[in-house]
Amino acid sequence: MTAGDELVDIVDDDDIVVATVTRRDMRAGRMQHRAVFVAVLHPDGRLLVHRRSDAKDVWPGWWDLAVGGVVGSGEAYDDAARRELAEEIGITDVIPEPIGDGRYADDDVALLGRCYRAIHSGPFTFADGEVAEARWATADELAAMRAGTRFLPDSLALLLPLLGPDFRSR
């Protein structure tokens, strides 16, 4: 099964499932779905940021400050967060801590998101091909990167405000 064939629950503004469709149809119809965003922080406070693969179905090649993605049909948010950590960066020995929820919509996506924080120093593996490159960034380094690099707008809108005053104020 390809990523486009995965089943995704479509939800209303109250997070009630109203339909189940393929990921391909969800993207084509810009249907509101569930997603998870996990900030991976080094014990010294740096944030793991990564550049998405050019094969991603939305915002290919852009930088992101979250590990995460679409919640599968019937999958709980917490399970999706753990799955995404394992798939994208090879982490299975940490339970991400929920830190907030929100709604995001633009011309490309519409979603209800749950944000998490995980503390981990690595090492990381990028076996599924979704991450093209990754690096640790301080708040100042992230601000400098954001000045000249495209970052995923949903992660910036939902997760960045939850990362604390050092990251928020830049």
The mean pLDDT values, 10 residues at a time, for the chain of 170 residues are 86 98 96 98 96 90 95 98 95 96 96 98 89 94 94 96 77
- The Cα–Cα gap between 46 and 115 comes to 17
Q: With contact defined as beta carbons under 8 Å apart, do 170 and 142 qualify?
A: yes
The whole-number pLDDT of residue 22 equals 97
Q: With contact defined as beta carbons under 8 Å apart, do 134 and 87 qualify?
A: no
The whole-number pLDDT of residue 3 equals 72
The whole-number pLDDT of residue 130 equals 85
The whole-number pLDDT of residue 169 equals 54
